[in-house]
Structure 1
Amino acid sequence: MKQHPIPQDITNYKFHLIGSMTLKQFAEVAVAAVLAFIIFKTNLIAIVKWPLIFFTVGLGAALAFVPIEERPLDHWIQTFFKNIYKPTKFFWKKASKIPDFFNYKISSVQSDFFAPNVNLNPARKQRINEYIKSIPEAEKVDEFDAGENQKISALLNQFNDVKVDQDQIKIEVKKQEKPNLQTRVRDLKAPQEELDNKKYSTNQIFGSVIGQNGQKESEVIIEIKDQSGESLRVIKSDEDGNFVANNPLKNGSYQVIAEKNDQKFPILQVELTGQILDPLVIKA
């Protein structure tokens, strides 16, 4: 079984005389020494005297310096004698108890009525009379006001008695005219299929791409390579299907390769000689 440490008393301070010896330990050792000295001075025979002296001194030292389970020996001795004289048998005796709702008693109700104490001295009466007089009375209507009120009510009742002839009420319904809407057709100019080569410089490659449906194709990737197969320019056709290489190239032969999805375009051979080229047309 696992041993658990017993909580120690750390709240009560114990005065120490010498080192870790408390006042209680010193008293136990001193009492044992005094008793041993008294036994030593008696006329008992040595075989009885010396065992008593050693027992007294040993008991005093054990009480002072030998704890058991972190508790002093005197605590265990006191606990031993207390438990010896305590009863070890307990008997349970059943006692009849009447439930509380059977012990209910009707409390006596006082039938005397005590009237509240009212202070009716003369000063109190005078204040009550002044308060009653200060309450405004209902205004009395004289004969003139009564006649005016009757005339006004009769005039208002005449408005309620007015009858309206339904035949005199005419409701005119006008038909809403439809707005005159005119449609206009604008002539849309078709995009130019041919590019003006005057806008471009010498050795600048430009042109347009036409797809299988005969219309110009946008988003077509055009790659320009030299004779060694090195890629020099990669451009893409615009919404109108046109493409332009931004920077002019050196004189020589070049390949123009177009690619888009599953469409196949022919590879064009272009020879640059330092002059303005005609626009290229790549057809699928």
Structure 2
Amino acid sequence: MPRQITTFEFKLVGFLTLKQFIYFVIFIPLGFIAYKLTPIPLLNLLVGVIVGAMGPALAFVPVNDRPLDTWIKNLVRRLTSPTQYIYHKKNPPIYFLKNLFFVNDPHRVMSHIESQEKLSAYLAKTKSNLPSPNRKKQSIAVLLQKPKEALIEQKKAPQKPAIPNVVVKKIQPAPTKPFFSGIVKNHRLIPLPGVLIYVKDGQGNVVRLLKTNPHGVFGTLKPLPQSDYLFEFKDPKNTYFFDTIKLRIEESNLKPFEFFSKELI
């Protein structure tokens, strides 16, 4: 049978291990010193015996198969160690995970909702216009049993009014290409959503108020007169700061503008 040899202590001094021998060497002289230093006759004997007996007790007396010194060590550790532990999170986030925005595309969600609404409306409309199968079976049975009466009833049935001619005018769709557009990023080239852009004219009047989408893009479809305009940016969370920029708006602005926060400096 294998045995645990890591905690085995060899007997180096007679029948005593090194630890037991040290206990004897320390506590028996201490008991003699306590006996000599105590002036009371009977008390000095009692104190000397108690102090001297600590060595044999630590060396030979086990409690539940554990030495007495182990119990004393665990007792002191238990009395001096804290009984309550409070968790404090101090580890900062990883540098490449900072300033990231995980936002779903609202345009994709809205298109999905609109397609579902159109499909449900179309199904409800076609379902109401279709005749029920029971009516079809009844009309076929009547036609087979009484063909003359069925034909007379069909002739007497009111005819649907003719649909008047309606002139449909083709409505021109609204322009889908923006007059000008741009993107707002931070110093890590990450798009910033929710940033407000104030477009002001030369007199300081706000002519456009724009907001970046979840991808940091903004734009306007309505054209502006050709002139110089001031672009002021504001982050509602006050996390990023921007300088006021003066730009020239032309009649056609093909390239989108790019703006960066002041952390780039």
Larger radius of gyration: 1
More helix by share: 2
